[in-house]
Amino acid sequence: MTEAKPDLLGSLGGAFDEHHPPARELVDDCVHCGFCLPACPTYSLWGEEMDSPRGRIYLMKEGLEGEPMSPSLVQHVDACLGCMACVTACPSGVQYDKLVEATRQQVERRGAEHRTRGQRLLRSAIFALFPRPERLRLVRPLLALYQRSGLSRLVRPVLARLSPTLATMEAIAPPVGPRVPVPALVPAVGVQRMTVGMLLGCVQREFYPGVNAATARVLAAEGCEVVVPPDQGCCGALSVHAGREAEGLDYARALIDTFSETGVERIVANSAGCGSTMKDYADLLADDPRYAERAADFAARSRDVSEVLAELEPVAQRHPLPMTVAYHDACHLRHAQGVKAQPRAVLATIPELVVKEIAEGDMCCGSAGIYNLTNPEPARELGDRKAANVAATGAELLVTSNPGCLLQITDALGRQGREMPTAHMVLVLDASLRGVGPGDLLT
Ligand code: SF4
Ligand code: SF4
């Protein structure tokens, strides 16, 4: 499906055009009880009704009833993290995820002029780079050179005065290590129990390549043949979550094509935001006669890596990992996918590993896709709050399942002078399977 130009779409007479406005019946599901308010990070930061889920739904209702696309609507929708904590908290089952996704598409088409020029340029730059692994690859040597030069000490204070966004980009950039290629086919160890396809991701592939290699190793160790199409692109998650519908759907179609001939039983993501979007492909491509059926099939086979590992009875030998870790739930795993028990179940199979819960575990760390770049100040406040709660656990290592959270919390811990290392969950399981002890994870 090709996205129609705004002037070719009929207007509903208010903020929204006729192409997938927020659905009236979903808006009407909200009974204004306010149970979601304490769960909402932006309401918690500012205490403003219009920065709560209930307030944002009210703005959508006004838009459906004839109010124009206003700077206020754009501002409050842009200030939402899309963390979906409100979806988990709502006792009435309001599908805020569907509502905000539809509203963001409308804002992109009809309200972008209400953003500052700087914001528009920033968004263009983000989407020209982050969903493009081949471009991220070009950034790697430049970033490595910068990191080795020691210029950071001089540059950081200047950026902090010039632009919070550039300062955030500089601060969260992970140390550039060697690339770790993942073979196109990793055979199962022992008896083959499943064939899985693996998503490489964009940031994950270029800046956390060890995570993809470890994901393939642990799946293979548990009896999975792992198929990794080397020419795969972005899954579209960043674009879809930002309302860039046409771009996101093009990425989704290309990824469906990439995996279409592989015959895999599951398609595994190790990045929460990617997995959540892949599971949404059925809805996203429902209007596309060429892809609707294949998208539904792809979505039905999509899983987070922890779901596949928890589904398979463990067969690979676990070696003791005598250490204490704090587990952070990525919002797009816990709230958007409802995957909370599985990562904990996987970690529980590791002898002598102690897993601590983090206070305010439902609360977003402020990473939220591109949020820490487009809204650096509130993202920083949420990052600081998360880092303090992580440090209070007394754990030796912070574990999570999303590259964005790893970047954000590592930066926040460092800013507070708390030198706690961080790692993706599969690296912890991989260390146990390889019997290397905690040392590998703590350096
Ligand atoms: S979204 Fe749900 S929890 Fe929040 S006010 Fe509406 S009905 Fe209540
Ligand atoms: S998605 Fe997160 S930030 Fe947005 S309204 Fe819901 S709880 Fe608040």
* Same-domain status, 105 and 33: yes
pLDDT in tens, 384-403: 999 999 999 999 999 999 98
CA of 77 to the centre of ligand 2 (A): 9
Q: If you take atom 8 of ligand 2, which residue's CA is the nearest one?
A: 40
CB 328 within 8 A of CB 344: no
Quickly state the pLDDT bin for 169 (edges 50, 70, 90): confident
123: left (phi > 0), else alpha (psi -120 to 50), else beta? alpha
Judge whether residue 81 has pLDDT over 80.
yes
Beta bridge partners of 399: 327, 423
Judge whether residue 171 has pLDDT over 90.
no
Residue 35 beta carbon below 6 angstroms from any ligand 1 atom:
yes
CA of 38 to the centre of ligand 2 (A): 10
* Same-domain status, 194 and 298: yes
Domain range for 431 is 317-442
Residues 6+ apart with CB under 8 A from 50: 56, 58, 59, 72, 76
Predicted model pTM:
0.92
Q: What is the pLDDT of residue 337?
A: 96
Q: Which of 131, 219, 133, 222 is nearest to 179 (CA)?
A: 133
Ligand 1 atom having least distance to the Cα of 37: 4
* Same-domain status, 200 and 275: yes
Ligand 1 atom having least distance to the Cα of 29: 7
Would residue 10 count as lying in a domain? Answer: no
Domain total of the chain: 4
Quickly state the pLDDT bin for 12 (edges 50, 70, 90): low
* Same-domain status, 65 and 121: no
Q: What's the CATH code of the domain at 93?
A: 1.10.1060.10
Quickly state the pLDDT bin for 11 (edges 50, 70, 90): low
Q: What is the pLDDT of residue 7?
A: 45
Q: What is the pLDDT of residue 290?
A: 97
> Which residues does ligand 2 sit against, CB inside 6 Å?
39-42, 53, 56, 80-86, 96
Ligand 2 atom having least distance to the Cα of 42: 3
Mean pLDDT of 107-130: 93
Judge whether residue 277 has pLDDT over 80.
yes
Would residue 178 count as lying in a domain? Answer: no
Q: If you take atom 5 of ligand 2, which residue's CA is the nearest one?
A: 53
Q: What is the pLDDT of residue 9?
A: 56
**Ligand that comes closest to the CA of residue 100:** 2
CA Rg, the chain, in Å?
A: 21
φ and ψ at 245, to 5 degrees? -60, -55
Residue 36 beta carbon below 6 angstroms from any ligand 1 atom:
yes
Mean pLDDT of 165-171: 81
pLDDT in tens, 178-233: 888 899 999 999 999 999 999 999 988 888 889 999 999 999 999 999 999 999 99
CB 211 within 8 A of CB 426: yes
Local structure of residue 45 (DSSP, 8 states) = H
* Same-domain status, 110 and 122: no
- Using a pLDDT cut of 70, give the percent of the chain over it: 97
Residues 6+ apart with CB under 8 A from 32: 54
Mean pLDDT of 91-116: 96
Mean pLDDT of 407-431: 93
CA of 99 to the centre of ligand 1 (A): 13
Q: Which helix (H) or strand (E) holds 181?
A: none
Mean pLDDT of 324-352: 97
Please tell me whether residue 250 adopts helix, strand or coil conformation.
helix
Would residue 434 count as lying in a domain? Answer: yes
Amino acid of residue 295: A
CB 199 within 8 A of CB 274: yes
Q: What is the pLDDT of residue 80?
A: 98
Torsion of CA 125, 259, 226, 218, to 10 degrees: 40
Better pLDDT: 219 or 13 = 219
* Same-domain status, 197 and 236: yes
CA of 250 to the centre of ligand 2 (A): 27
Q: Which two tokens stand for residue 63?
A: 């838009």
CA of 152 to the centre of ligand 1 (A): 45
Q: If you take atom 2 of ligand 1, which residue's CA is the nearest one?
A: 90
pLDDT in tens, 226-263: 999 999 999 999 999 999 999 999 999 999 999 999 99
Q: If you take atom 4 of ligand 2, which residue's CA is the nearest one?
A: 80
CA of 369 to the centre of ligand 2 (A): 13
Q: Which of 293, 310, 327 is the last residue of a domain?
A: 310
Q: What is the pLDDT of residue 76?
A: 98
Judge whether residue 430 has pLDDT over 90.
yes
pLDDT in tens, 31-79: 999 999 999 999 999 999 999 999 999 999 999 999 999 999 999 999 9
Q: Which of 310, 337, 356 is the last residue of a domain?
A: 310
Residue ranges of E strands in 289-430: 302-304, 323-327, 353-356, 397-400, 422-424
Q: If you take atom 7 of ligand 1, which residue's CA is the nearest one?
A: 30
Mean pLDDT of 107-114: 95
* Same-domain status, 95 and 44: yes
Residue 34 beta carbon below 6 angstroms from any ligand 1 atom:
yes
